[in-house]
Amino acid sequence: MRQSFFALATAAFLLGACGEQPQTSTPAAPPTTVKASVGSPVTPSGKTRIALLLPLSGGAAPIGQAMQQAAEMALFDTGAKELALAAYDSGESAETAMEAYRKARTDGVAMVLGPLFGTSAKALAPLVAQGGANVVSFSNDESAAQRGVWIMGIAAPPQVRRVVDYTVETGIKRFAAFAPQTSYGEQMVRTLEGHVSMRGGTMAGVELYDPNSADLVTSAKRLAGALKGDGKLAILVPVAPPRLSTALSALAAAGLDNKSVQFIGTGVWDVPNVGSDAMARGAWYAAPDPARRADFERRFVATYGRPPNRLATLAYDGVALAGNLARLKPGGDFSAEAITNPNGWSGVDGIFRFLPDGRSERALAVIEVQGNRGTVVSPAPTTFVRPTN
């Protein structure tokens, strides 16, 4: 087991209390019980122990390393005094994550940050229910979310809802989808259909294509032939580059290009140079405001000499969250009630809050693809307080 300790500080992070990606999963393992002796969550020097569960071995180790380094950045950026962070290798399986959780509980921990994979987070739920420390996972898999195991990753369904909201606000009420016939693609289509109906729009057509097919033109022509109705049309294409270019080219060959329809997408488009494909220019997708992340990325490169993995901000924000929970009262407050503060929290990826059912809500911007960069066309909200009329 690889383990290291850092003293971590708090940041000006709390908004309340005082005043694509497609989901990642690994095979699940059967739950076990936590019967080992439980150590103190406080160190002899009075710091609160926080466990960081990351894949520090296996194929995902580079991601885990970048996330651990981001946690170290939180240490140096905030001048930590209240926390002691212990990193545990959660590997790539649910079984390894449970072993890491049990080890953390034996050592003593007030809260767990991680693991990364949804099935690993789901496997920890029975251990938490037996009296274990609350978990804030870095997964974006909402199926793993439940009280005691919160999902901090940027889930895809809210991205669809956000971009649909903006599209409707611009006057477009007709929607269609061109998506791969995968669990992710099907989930995005279901989300689209449900939210379009709620917003008073109409679904003009849906085409789920074979993700292994080299010929997407036939599927695109099928969608084009099924479209009915008048008015501007928005087509959801939840496809990550480089496959995105193939999908957009197929739609263009069927007479559906970016001059005749409005393309919309999800956070899988939130990658460098997505606009290198001329067909993607002018398209909209929802994601955290890139300007806030840019400063973090510059500082990460200056410190470690290479760009961070996209998921590194989750570890940075998770550590800052833990620091603020530690400040709520003497000894800290890591209860479900404190974690789910309705006013939310602020981080590198914008404001976010945890819901009682384990899901998280994020304030996302809508970004328009323009060449090699994206331009924010609808800023992310800065508060969860709804304006009153």
Summarised one tens digit per residue, pLDDT across range 340-378 is 999 999 999 999 999 999 999 999 999 999 877 789 999
Model confidence at 13, pLDDT cuts 50, 70, 90, reads: very low
Query: Given a cut of 70, is residue 94 above it in pLDDT?
Result: yes
Beta strands in the chain (DSSP E): 5-8, 48-54, 83-89, 111-113, 134-137, 149-151, 174-180, 202-209, 233-236, 262-265, 284-287, 345-347, 350-354, 360-362, 365-370, 373-378
Summarised one tens digit per residue, pLDDT across range 102-122 is 999 999 999 999 999 999 999
Q: How far apart are CA 336 and CA 371, in angstroms?
A: 44
3-class DSSP assignment, residue 74: helix
Q: What's the confidence (pLDDT) of residue 167?
A: 98
Q: Which candidate, 196, 202, 253, 205, places its Cα nearest to that of 226?
A: 205
Q: Which candidate, 8, 30, 95, places its Cα nearest to that of 325?
A: 8
* CA distance between the termini of the chain: 56
Q: Which candidate, 42, 40, 39, 15, places its Cα nearest to that of 326?
A: 42
Q: In what order do the strands lie in the sheet with 350-354?
A: 345-347, 350-354, 360-362
Token digits of residue 159 = 């991205």
Would you list the domain boundaries of the chain? 5-153+291-358, 157-287+366-378
Q: Which candidate, 230, 303, 239, places its Cα nearest to that of 266?
A: 239
Chain position carrying tokens 């009296």:
131
String of b and e for 308-323 (b: at least 16 CB within 10 Å)?
bbbbbbbbbbbbbbbb
* pTM, rounded to two decimals: 0.84
Summarised one tens digit per residue, pLDDT across range 59-71 is 999 999 999 999 9
Topology alike, domains 5-153+291-358 and 157-287+366-378: yes
81: number of CA atoms within 13 Å, CB side? 3
250: number of CA atoms within 13 Å, CB side? 23
String of b and e for 173-195 (b: at least 16 CB within 10 Å)?
bbbbbbbbeeebbbbbbebbbeb
Question: Which overall architecture, per CATH, does domain 5-153+291-358 show?
Answer: 3-Layer(aba) Sandwich (3.40)
Asked if 136 and 152 count as a contact pair (C-beta separation under 8 A), the reply is: yes
Options 3.40.50.2300, 3.40.640.10, 3.40.1710.10, 3.40.50.300; CATH for 157-287+366-378 is 3.40.50.2300
Chain position carrying tokens 């809260």:
111
Model confidence at 389, pLDDT cuts 50, 70, 90, reads: low
Give Cα separations from 204 to 174, 201, 207 (angstroms): 6, 10, 11
Q: What's the confidence (pLDDT) of residue 274?
A: 86
